[in-house]
Amino acid sequence: MRYGEFDTASLMYITNRPDLVFERGEGAWLYDHNGKRYLDFIQGWAVNCLGHCPAEITDALVKQAKTLLNPSPAFYNGPMVELAGLLTANSVFDRVFFANTGAEANEGAIKLARKWGKLHRNGAYEIITFDHSFHGRTLATMSASGKAGWDVMYAPQVPGFPKADLNDIASVEALITDKTVAVMLEPVQGEGGVIPASPEFMQALRKLTRERGILLIVDEVQAGMGRTGTLFAYQQSGIEPDIMTLGKGIGGGVPLAALLATESVACFEPGEQGGTYNGNPLMAAVGVAVLRKLLSEGFMESVRARGEYLKQRLLELSEKHGLKGERGCGLLRALILDDDRGPAIVKAALEMDPQGLLLNAPRPNLLRFMPALNVSEGEIDQMIEALDVLLKK
Ligand SMILES: *Cc1c(COP(=O)(O)O)cnc(C)c1O
């Protein structure tokens, strides 16, 4: 497609993008090059947790951009220290390593577990992961993921990621050998179709991993940072994992991710982990602004209330159209359809006139909702009304 004097074909063809260019965003709304507006229930893939261009983030960016961009990862900077302090004060973890993407944070978690295995488990390196899981797009995180077809796409895989079944503790137990160093899971499988690990399963996993002397790693890149109704999803099952990764929401739209570990597990030695942009103050300042907002009086209560409201409205819609219900936690939810029309609904929602709606179907038989955490009830109502029309067709 032509765009001014340029052409979209200059970009590598890595996904089917619609013929429109987004130029501006504000709160729950996005505007394309024709001036058409879209109600956004994707929010950059659960990334813009405070909506498009919130004042908290733009102010933090402008202020930090005028102060210090990047002194180098070999030096401390203020926002990096502040963000790490806020994260450890509000979680069970003691040490933080900042990264730029969720996949990079997960790579760090894999390396940290392998290092720990070298020190404490005779070089054990296998990390049990789960069918349908998603951990990122680097070679190791693709190998850790349980996505169909990913095992052969860039063969050979990185070895050491046997797959168990979510919510089936016996399937995990059966895979533990003297080579096992950890179990890694998403507390709510996001890309897999919004499938929560049950609190009982999380508790059983914690018990099993403790008994066997192996680590428990939670990938909260999608589920963390308030998305599921608590600051971190692991808090809902009352367990204490050894390692956690964060991404997406922590940057509110800018590239920021984090690897957190408890004191006894944080065993990297100088020179074993790093990265040019890791902990840069520009992104860390945004992380501070985002986290302070999430921690502010009443914010998480309102996320839970909006999550409950979205749930009720989706259930009504399901009942009305004879669908198969809904599932999820907080503001990460899915409506289960009666057939595989998910992609067709997503396309029709985008093309609605005069106002489009942005939805996502991680699997053809369901629609996923990941609005900004400060989405209003009125915006939820507008989305439901649009979806009601689409479901009638
Ligand atoms: C999105 C996602 C990742 C990958 O994050 P990137 O920033 O795209 O590298 C990893 N794990 C989970 C659970 C995710 O949802």
Q: Are 329 and 204 within one domain?
A: no
One DSSP character per residue, 153-195 reads HTSSPPS---EE-TT-HHHHHTT--TTEEEEEE-SEETTTTSE
Q: Are 157 and 224 within one domain?
A: yes
Instruction: List Cβ<8 Å contacts ≥24 apart for 259-262.
Output: 259/96, 259/97, 259/98, 259/99, 259/105, 259/108, 259/109, 259/112, 260/87, 260/88, 260/91, 260/93, 260/95, 260/96, 260/97, 261/93, 261/94, 261/95, 261/112, 262/92, 262/93, 262/94, 262/95
What average pLDDT does the segment 357-384 reach?
98
Q: Would you say residue 50 lies in a domain?
A: no
One DSSP character per residue, 357-382 reads EE-EEEETTEEEE---TT--HHHHHH
Q: Would you say residue 165 lies in a domain?
A: yes
The values of phi and psi at residue 250, to 5°, are -60, -25
137 appears as a binding residue in the annotation? yes
Q: Would you say residue 6 lies in a domain?
A: no
322 appears as a binding residue in the annotation? no
Q: Are 254 and 347 within one domain?
A: no
Which residue's CA is the nearest one to ligand 1's atom 15? 222
Over pLDDT 90: what percentage of the chain?
Answer: 100
Q: How far is the CA of 246 from the centre of ligand 1 (A)?
A: 9
- What average pLDDT does the chain have? 97
Q: Would you say residue 137 lies in a domain?
A: yes
Q: Would you say residue 178 lies in a domain?
A: yes
Domain count, the chain: 2
- Whichever domain contains 221, its CATH number is 3.40.640.10
Residue 165, pLDDT > 90, answer yes
Question: With contact defined as beta carbons under 8 Å apart, do 214 and 121 qualify?
Answer: yes
Model confidence at 54, in pLDDT bands (50, 70, 90)? very high
**pLDDT per residue as tens digits for the range 184-205:** 999 999 999 999 999 999 999 9
Q: Are 338 and 252 within one domain?
A: no
Q: Are 168 and 209 within one domain?
A: yes
Q: Are 252 and 373 within one domain?
A: no
Looking at 295, 325, 343, which one is the last position of a domain? 295
Q: How far is the CA of 188 from the centre of ligand 1 (A)?
A: 12
Range of the domain at 190: 56-295
Q: How far is the CA of 127 from the centre of ligand 1 (A)?
A: 18
102 appears as a binding residue in the annotation? yes
Query: Any idea what DSSP says for residue 337?
Result: P
Which residue's CA is the nearest one to ligand 1's atom 5? 102
What does the alpha-carbon distance between residue 369 and residue 331 come to, in Å, rounded to a whole number?
A: 7
Closest ligand 1 atom number to CA of residue 220: 13
What ranges in 9-51 are assigned the alpha helix state H?
A: 43-46
Q: Are 74 and 95 within one domain?
A: yes
Q: What is the pTM of this model?
A: 0.98
Q: How far is the CA of 306 from the centre of ligand 1 (A)?
A: 24
What average pLDDT does the segment 285-309 reach?
98
Looking at 257, 280, 295, which one is the last position of a domain? 295
Closest ligand 1 atom number to CA of residue 247: 7
Q: Would you say residue 4 lies in a domain?
A: no
Q: How far is the CA of 103 from the centre of ligand 1 (A)?
A: 6
Q: Are 231 and 377 within one domain?
A: no
Q: Would you say residue 48 lies in a domain?
A: no
Q: How would you classify the pairing of strands 37-40 and 29-32? A: antiparallel
Half-sphere exposure in the Cβ direction for 380 (13 Å, CA) = 24
Query: To which residue do tokens 């050998």 refer?
Result: 177
Tell me the best of 104, 130, 134, 277 to mutate to test the pocket of ligand 1, counting ligand atoms within 8 Å of each CB and taking the most.
134
222 appears as a binding residue in the annotation? yes
Q: Would you say residue 83 lies in a domain?
A: yes
What are 196's strand-pairing partners?
Answer: 188
How high is the pLDDT of residue 199? 98
**pLDDT per residue as tens digits for the range 113-161:** 999 999 999 999 999 999 999 999 999 999 999 999 999 999 999 999 9
Q: How far is the CA of 105 from the centre of ligand 1 (A)?
A: 9
- Whichever domain contains 303, its CATH number is 3.90.1150.10
What average pLDDT does the segment 169-188 reach?
98
How high is the pLDDT of residue 393? 75
Looking at 272, 295, 318, which one is the last position of a domain? 295
Residue 75, pLDDT > 80, answer yes
Q: Are 103 and 187 within one domain?
A: yes
How high is the pLDDT of residue 97? 98
Residue 351, pLDDT > 90, answer yes
Instruction: List Cβ<8 Å contacts ≥24 apart for 27-34.
Output: 27/51, 27/52, 27/54, 27/372, 28/52, 28/371, 28/372, 28/375, 28/376, 28/379, 30/358, 33/3
Q: Are 178 and 66 within one domain?
A: yes
What does the alpha-carbon distance between residue 83 and residue 298 come to, in Å, rounded to a whole number?
A: 21
Q: How would you classify the pairing of strands 257-261 and 243-246? A: antiparallel
CA-wise closest residue to 150 among 85, 161, 42 = 161
134 appears as a binding residue in the annotation? yes
46 appears as a binding residue in the annotation? no
Q: Are 310 and 333 within one domain?
A: yes
Q: Are 331 and 287 within one domain?
A: no
Q: How far is the CA of 321 from the centre of ligand 1 (A)?
A: 33
Report the pocket of ligand 1 as residue ranges, CB < 6 Å: 101-103, 106, 134-136, 186, 190-191, 219, 221-222, 247-248
